[in-house]
Structure 1
Amino acid sequence: MAVNNVHSIETVLNDLMYDIRNWMKLKQLKLNENKTECLIVGKEIDLVRLNIPRLHINGVSMTVGDNIKNLVVIIDRNVNLVSQVHHVVRVASYHLRNITFVRKYLDKETVKMLVHNYVISRLDYCNSLYYGLPNHLLRKLQLVMNRAARMIVGLKSRERITPVLISLHWLPIKTRIIYKICTLVYQAIKFGKPVYLKELLSDFSTASDLTLRHNVQLDRLNEPRFNTEMGRKAFVNSAPRLYNKLPERVRTSEKYITFKKELKAYLFTECYDTDSMSMRTDFGC
């Protein structure tokens, strides 16, 4: 719910906290309001105009922060995810350095397992949120992945990294984001879970009786219109467009494991030119 002044914000949040407290009481849980964090999201010009340093919710004074952490994801008030990307790069680089110290004592498969568990998993965690981020931020994540690939095969920093990524069968950061979004869409439309994502997606339909090219394409989703850059990044708009671009053979996969295999194979051929061992321009950062 959008609000325009401090009193509206406090009224809405008081009502929400009242409902949350009652629900938790029914579940025999206790709400620690002193640890509750508050973040106001909006355009910078609106945030400056409102200038809300504190909110009073149910008698508790809450400081309005510049960012908060939710499920280990740092969300800032401008939703540009700069703090989140920097945090991921810092943590992944820390683990990568630790693995480097013991690299000479380990075989290649063991190193690859450690890199996947401590580095790649952090780059992939909630990476669907990174869709639409500027290249300079995504490049920071890609550089960490490149360093991890170099360490696995013992490649020097001056040598080309793309052939190594191809040999490891690693998708680049931009493509991994598309992969995650498409797998979320498949689970939502095929299994109905999670429900909150399923409710954002709808099948393509037309009021016309004419036979259109879109009508004969199976598992095609409706693509809502949007007017802003933030709207383009939103899951409700970006997910259907990315999913509809997939070949029909991928979208119509009966099993989830088959869908993931076909999806990765398709994205791999889209982002890499295996003849010249290079990455296509659209997928570079």
Structure 2
Amino acid sequence: MFKLTNEEKYEVIQIVLQSSNIIMSKAESAEDIKTIEQKGFANYVTKIDYDVQNYIEKHILNIFPDHQFLGEEDADHKFDQANPCWILDPVDGTKNLILDMHHSSTSLAFWNGNDLNFAIIYNPFLDELYEANRNEGSYLIRNIKQQTIRTKEYYNLQKTKLIINNISDLSHAIVAFGSSPYDRGIEINHKVMFQVLYDIFAQTEDIRRFGSAALDLAYIAANRHHIFFESKLRPWDFAAGILIVEESGGIVTNFHNQPVNIFKTSSILSANPTLHKLVLPLIEKIR
């Protein structure tokens, strides 16, 4: 089991921040944003996705040459769970990026050979970084690029500790969901999904659809909404978010109320413990 030092965590954060310059500079370039490959229905990748992944992978493996790297844009997704592995979504919310919505993120998680141990989700448009360390809590670091100019020490970063809400009534809950558009007509009955969505809407305060599962999970920890669910997500979509939610006191399971295998495609349901228990029966139709 590999344990990261604080110096190594700071180096990784700096790599992710530096990679965001690719997003911010090339988002201004019509050529790069329009260099789009369609991997499947409603599933897009731009040159920016590839460039960010290549940058992060290269610099992470320079520091940790013996570690594995699992990136969304890799052609081969083979790995050994007994050994350390970095799990990356270079741009979660690619369609949002294409549409210039400024709601996309880079999501990076570290599997130490035994469990998720370190995670960061960074929204470069808001300069907000969500961070979690196993058994050390979850934090939101605002204006992190400016902070890293002023300090070179991990412990000197100004952070806001994230503690999950204690809402116990569905009628007070804001729900975020993902529609799993990539799997339309294949494995998911979307007609049933939207019937379930209506049932949930009828019992809660309101519904949101943001288009970045990583940020959806981070927002659970930050109490920007209170329940999140999606029928089918991939490891790079949820690995970092799971640790961030759990370290804030929240719960993340699949629709069967089982722990999520972070190396396999899975459904995701996340909330505080009380809301999770209350909303779980409403999800039964789409299990």
Give the structure with higher Rg (CA). 1
Q: Please classify the TM superposition score into its range, dividing by the shorter chain length.
A: under 0.3
The structure where strand makes up a greater share of residues is 2
Kindly indicate whether structure 1 or structure 2 has the higher relative contact order, using CA contacts under 8 Å at least 6 residues apart.
2
Report the TM-score when normalising by structure 2: 0.26
Report the TM-score when normalising by structure 1: 0.26
The structure where helix makes up a greater share of residues is 1
